[in-house]
Amino acid sequence: MLYPVSVPVGGSSEDLIGFIDSSGGEVVAPSYEAAATFSAGLAAVMEPESPTGFIDDRGRIAIPARFKGLGSFREGRCAIGAELTVGYIDERGEWVIPPRYLICSPFTEGLAFVSVDGEGFGIIDRQGNSVAEPRYERAGPFRNGLSAVSVDGKWGYVDPTGALVIPCMFDGPRAQPFTGGWAGVNVDARWGFVDRYGNWLVKPQYEDVQKFSEGFAPVKVGDKWGLLHMSGKLCLPPIFDDLSEFDCGIAVASVAGKSGYVSPEGRWVIEPRFDGAWGFLGELAVVEVGDRYSYITRSGTIVWTSEPGAYVPTPPHEP
């Protein structure tokens, strides 16, 4: 995998984007106006005043530039634009679902949410066949065979046929996707967790929650974050100003304005010495100190550091 890096253009507010490998070596010189992170061995790139194409992990053009906007591949499909509409291409750059939508979600578990007007979302399969009519106001990714959807401002969950299996009865700006059979939901400004039948596993009691990952979920008590185990018990007290989901045994955590990485036991794997930090993408993560950002390894070793004031190419958030 290659990682995007940015270099400020002198006398301009713009940056040019290139790519490094996991050792910090330059593979693609900074020459692109915009770029996405790699997925399925491809990255969307845009040269100045040009449409979007895709490069491979050697920096070679794999799909010629003829698209609008940036996109990433998920399950062999990439949502991307053509003029004023959006469709899906395959990894050869061929349209497999013609551009006829205003908004397209990534595919998860073989399904995606699409909208022609930005107001109603329906479900399609990987061939573009309609699975459910556009009757949802908002929708999340499919996880564990269910997706969170919003109808009349309330959240519930649908199955892969679009049938509502947990009624739309939850509040809040979102409902969490199911992971490990648990989903975080909001009732009366308090968060708890339900099972795939809508039964409470943890009663609503937290100010906020994130989804379970590797058997743990960050939960907010007052203005601090702690860690909930799937037993329903707090395994880390609420001592962090911020805490992310776990990935390969570590999570971003913040205390006293500094960020680092912790284990599920609360041990600092990488000490909190950064002004900002993001989750690992493959072997590297982005961290920020002052007006520079760096890529670090999972041991905390810095392999590349930007010039002052460079644009920070933060990795995408997995829904």
20 and 29 in contact (C-beta within 8 Å)? no
The strand pair at 111-115 and 121-125 is best described as antiparallel
Q: To the nearest whole number, what is the mean pLDDT of the chain? A: 96
Whether the pLDDT of residue 318 is over 80: the answer is: no
pLDDT in tens, 242-261: 999 999 999 999 999 999 99
Name the pLDDT band for 224 (thresholds 50, 70, 90).
Answer: very high
**Phi and psi torsions of 110, nearest 5°:** 80, 5
Residue type, 311: Y
pLDDT in tens, 132-190: 999 999 999 999 999 999 999 999 999 999 999 999 999 989 999 999 999 999 999 99
**Beta partners for residue 15, in sequence order:** 8
pLDDT in tens, 68-95: 999 999 999 999 999 899 999 999 999 9
With a pLDDT cut of 90, the percent of the chain lying above it is: 95
Name the pLDDT band for 319 (thresholds 50, 70, 90).
Answer: low
- Output the pLDDT for position 75: 97
Go through the domains of the chain in sequence order and give each one's CATH number: 102-206 (2.40.128.630)
- Output the pLDDT for position 221: 98
Q: What angle do CA 111, 113, 115 make, to 5 degrees?
A: 145
For 8, the enclosing helix (H) or strand (E) is: strand 3-8
